[in-house]
Amino acid sequence: MRAHAARIAARFERDLAALVAVSSPSGDVEGFEECAAVAAALAPEEASVERPPCSSPDHAPDLLVRLQGTGRARLLLLGHLDTVHAHERHRPLERVGDRLLGSGSVDMKGGDVLALAILRALAERRGDFAEVALLLVGDEEWRTAPFAHVERFAGWEACLCFEAGELADGQEAVVVRRKGAGTIRVRASGRAAHSGSAPEKGANALLALSAAATAVAGRHDPAGPDRLTAVPTVMRSGDAFNVVPDAGELLCDVRADSLGAIEAVAATVPTELGGVALHVEVLRRWPPMDSRETTGGLLRRAADAAGRPIAASGRGGASDASHFAPAITVTVDGLGPRGGAAHNPGEHVLVESVKPRAEIALAVTLATLDAGS
């Protein structure tokens, strides 16, 4: 395990640079196709490549890399190749001190590199599994359609997702609990008027959306029973400085331990304010994930193999692992390298984290296969 981890660490920067060199914002077909080609080139030669349809329309097909074995266990590795960074803000990888800076480096192309490395390591142990599949999707950062891949892998022994790793109380940790996530959209339909000579004849969409944002933010209760966060994030309204705005849109990011709590936030927005009609919808519903009970034994065995504690942690951010958790009992997330500034210009992977995180990922993978053999 340590020998494999050392080899993974030795080539990690080169492999990550190849993936990060490709700008692949969500929904960009050309970018995903190029990124998928790089990922396929990093897969073991023994693996087969499939391109299942993406969950989101008008996207490039997702990438599925399959490795067949002669054992019994079936293991799904999971990641995504899309980023939130637009082409004009894309930053190729560069090493700055102890950091590898680049767009999508920690969310989550660094994790994809580790997942591909795990697949290459398993190509040498094909008697330990019936199949290991690596699914890399192209719409994780912004998907409103239902997730399309759960049924195909339902009942497999485990799902290991390679979103960024973290520390918990100073110990290397993996993620076994996530909140559910929803995006609330409010669209306003008001009435335009001259803002100087006849403002009373208008119905101000901007003011109505501001009130809706205040209503959503008023439900924010991270210390409450549902650990609810309700945060207005985007508001657009108005085209001219001297016209009462007649339309607009508000987006809010809501996370909670239950989807019901998210729906309840949407229900607090009134349907009319000041003559402005408000149309409210929940654009996406990502389920919560809680696999603490089903992964406890696995993490203890993996810690013994790794020779270090592995903490079970939780995270507020959404992940595709949450979709698989109801169908694959043993689901573990957060197996990627550690880093920071995800979704920001300074996004990075910590170089010092790569080898220990590779050891953790290898240990969890082998413990999973041992349990399923």
Tokens of 70: 């002669």
pLDDT at 373: 64
Domain 181-286 has CATH 3.30.70.360: yes
Average pLDDT value for residue range 253-279: 97
Please check the confidence at residue 313 and state whether its pLDDT lies above 90.
yes
Which string of b and e fits 239-260 if b means at least 16 CB within 10 Å?
eeeeebbbbbebbbbbbbbbbe
Residue 318 pLDDT class (50, 70, 90 cuts): confident
> Position of tokens 């912004």?
142
CA dist 170 and 162 (Å) reads 20
Distance CA 81, CA 300 (A): 30
- Amino acid letter for position 95: R
Supply the pLDDT for residue 118.
98
Over residues 46-64, the mean pLDDT reads 97
Reported as a pLDDT band with limits 50, 70 and 90, residue 371 is confident
Q: Is the pLDDT of residue 372 over 90?
A: no
Task: Provide the β-strand partners of residue 25.
Answer: 83
* Statement: residue 159 has pLDDT above 90: yes
Identify the CA nearest to 110 among candidates 20, 24, 176: 20
2-179+288-372: CATH, from 3.40.50.2300, 3.30.450.40, 3.40.630.10, 3.40.630.30? 3.40.630.10
User: Which phi and psi angles does 372 have, rounded to 5°?
Assistant: -95, 0
Average pLDDT over residues 331-349: 97
The answer on pLDDT for 77 being more than 70 is yes
* pLDDT exceeds 80 at position 212: yes
Omega of the bond prior to 108 within 30 degrees of 0, cis? yes
User: 3-class DSSP state for residue 5?
Assistant: helix
Per the CB < 8 A criterion, the answer to whether 62 and 136 are in contact is yes
Residue 361 to residue 373: CA distance in whole angstroms: 18
Amino acid 281 reads: E
Domains in the chain: boundaries: 2-179+288-372, 181-286
Q: Is the pLDDT of residue 22 over 70?
A: yes
pLDDT for 100 beyond 70: yes
Length of the chain: 373
Q: What is the pLDDT of residue 91?
A: 98
Across residues 271-295, what is the average pLDDT?
96
Tokens linked to 271: 């349907």
What does pLDDT average to over the chain? 97
Measured CA to CA, the distance from residue 134 to residue 157 in angstroms comes to 14
Q: How many Cα atoms occupy the beta-carbon half-sphere of 126 within 13 Å?
A: 12
- Which tokens sit at 320? 């595709």
More confident residue, 144 or 353: 353
The answer to whether domain 2-179+288-372 and domain 181-286 are alike in fold is no
Taking the C-alpha atoms of residue 24 and residue 257, their distance in angstroms, rounded to an integer, is 31
Q: Average pLDDT, stretch 277-306?
A: 96
Residues 258-266 have a mean pLDDT of 97
Answer whether residue 185 shows pLDDT above 90.
yes
- Residue 1 — pLDDT band, cuts 50, 70, 90? confident
In this predicted structure, what is the pLDDT of residue 296? 96
Q: 188: closest CA among 272, 265, 274, 277? A: 277
Q: What is the mean pLDDT of residues 153-162?
A: 97
Angle of helix 110-122 relative to helix 29-42, nearest 10 degrees, comes to 40
Please state, in angstroms and rounded to a whole number, the distance separating the CA atoms of residues 151 and 148. 8
- Quote the pLDDT of residue 28: 97
What average pLDDT does the segment 250-276 reach? 97
Counting residues of the chain whose pLDDT is more than 70, the rounded percentage is 99
Q: What does the pLDDT average to over 106-126?
A: 97
